[in-house]
Amino acid sequence: AQSVTQPDIHITVSEGASLELRCNYSYGATPYLFWYVQSPGQGLQLLLKYFSGDTLVQGIKGFEAEFKRSQSSFNLRKPSVHWSDAAEYFCAVGSNTGKLIFGQGTTLQVKP
């Protein structure tokens, strides 16, 4: 069965510190993977996506993610977190019909 697991429900980091959000997926074929961010009261915004090629993907707002097939992971990283990055982050895998299967999300809190 296709699924996505985000092991960390809540993460707190200090402003300026580095960030890594974990994502593990289960998918039978080559996965299409996405990271979305959701700010309070808003819809989801795409940060980046992977479906082939270079396993290190660059996204918007200084985020990047690395696809590791051997670990079934697609972790999101940012070298220096800003207060405006506080939000909820969702990892998702694209199914054959196009629908997205989301993880439960990780809430990021940024300390000043």
Interaction site with other proteins (CB under 8 A): 4, 32, 36, 41-46, 49, 51, 90, 92, 94-100, 102-105
Of 70, 55, 9, 60, nearest to 37 (Cα)? Answer: 60
Query: For other proteins, which is the closer residue by CB, 17 or 56?
Result: 56
Query: For other proteins, which is the closer residue by CB, 19 or 100?
Result: 100
Pairing of strands 87-94, 100-102: antiparallel
Smallest separation (angstroms) from other proteins to the CB of 95: 6
Smallest separation (angstroms) from other proteins to the CB of 105: 5
Of 28, 34, 31, nearest to 47 (Cα)? Answer: 34
Smallest separation (angstroms) from other proteins to the CB of 42: 6
In contact, 21 and 106? CB cutoff 8 Å? yes
Query: For other proteins, which is the closer residue by CB, 80 or 95?
Result: 95
Query: For other proteins, which is the closer residue by CB, 15 or 102?
Result: 102
Of 52, 47, 45, 54, nearest to 23 (Cα)? Answer: 47
